[in-house]
């Protein structure tokens, strides 16, 4: 069965409560392209009972989950953006290839590769956050591989059967999708135990060094 993703984030050691806005760095893509190539083709699979489908505008590849927005001191977020931008200026734009969906324990997930380029951005964002804040917030995630989720397991009486979903997926056409990455985005992200949304804060472009 696909378990409740949000139960995990609500009960882990560094819990993420309902409605609280936490600082996140993401790789985001054009929602129109996401709907056409990543999200839309699997709508039937990800709309099953017990799943919270991620609409195209909210599909994201997380780089870093930071601290609660109201716990950042005045000037810290601005300093984080400035330092991340300085380091990203020397990182060339690249491409991420998203594989066909996999039916995970708590989500329908798209693993992406190559991991090395995205991992460098995770290192930059997590290191800068720790430097600016004096390490007040835990490093999340503690290890990194790029991926996006098409749907999350949610609370309720119904749980999607993973084997049934794998059978459906095996009959579904489609292959890997490659998308460009030329910027990363800082957002204030929240959830309601079914859907993840955010308020956009800033974009940082890659490869702007002169």
| Cross-strand bridge partners of residue 103 | 108
Q: Is residue 138 part of a domain?
A: yes
Which tens digit of pLDDT belongs to each residue from 129-147? 999 999 999 998 889 999 9
Q: Is the pLDDT of residue 124 over 90?
A: yes
pLDDT of 210 strictly over 60: no
Q: What is the domain extent for residue 85?
A: 5-205
- 103, part of any domain: yes
CATH of the domain at 22: 3.90.1140.10
Question: Residue 168 in contact with residue 30, Cβ under 8 Å?
Answer: no
Query: Is-cis flag, bond preceding 3, omega within 30?
Result: no
Q: List beta partners, residue 204.
A: 184
pLDDT at site 170: 94
Total of domains in the chain: 1
Q: Roughly what angle, to the nearest 10 degrees, separates helices 115-133 and 76-88?
A: 150
Domain assignment present for residue 150? The answer is yes
Q: Which among 115, 111, 109, 114 has a CA at the least distance from the CA of 99?
A: 111
DSSP category for residue 93? P
Which pTM value belongs to this model?
Answer: 0.95
In a domain, 210, yes or no: no
Alpha-carbon distance of 134 to 107, in angstroms, equals: 33
- Interval 70-120: pLDDT, tens: 999 999 999 999 999 999 999 999 999 999 999 999 999 999 999 999 999
Task: List C-alpha distances in Å: 135 to 67, 112, 131, 170.
Answer: 10, 29, 7, 44
């Amino acid at each position: 069965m696909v378990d409740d993703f949000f139960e995990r984030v609500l009960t882990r050691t560094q819990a993420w409560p309902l409605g609280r806005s936490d600082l996140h760095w993401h790789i985001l893509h054009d929602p129109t392209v996401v709907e056409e190539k990543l999200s839309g083709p699997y709508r039937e699979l990800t709309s099953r009972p017990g799943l919270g489908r991620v609409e195209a505008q909210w599909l994201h590849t997380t780089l870093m989950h930071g601290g609660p927005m109201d716990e950042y001191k005045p000037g810290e977020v601005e300093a984080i953006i400035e330092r991340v931008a300085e380091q990203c200026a020397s990182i060339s734009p690249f491409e991420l290839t998203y594989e066909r969906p996999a039916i995970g324990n708590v989500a329908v997930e798209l693993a992406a590769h190559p991991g090395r380029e995205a991992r460098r951005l995770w290192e930059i964002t997590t290191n800068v956050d720790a430097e600016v804040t004096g390490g007040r917030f835990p490093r999340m995630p503690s290890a990194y591989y790029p991926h996006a989720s098409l749907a999350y397991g949610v609370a309720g009486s119904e749980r999607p059967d993973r084997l049934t979903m794998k059978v459906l997926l095996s009959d579904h056409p489609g292959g890997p999708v490659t998308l460009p990455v030329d910027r990363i985005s800082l957002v204030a992200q929240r959830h309601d135990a079914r859907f993840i949304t955010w308020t956009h804060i800033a974009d940082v472009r890659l490869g702007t060094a002169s």
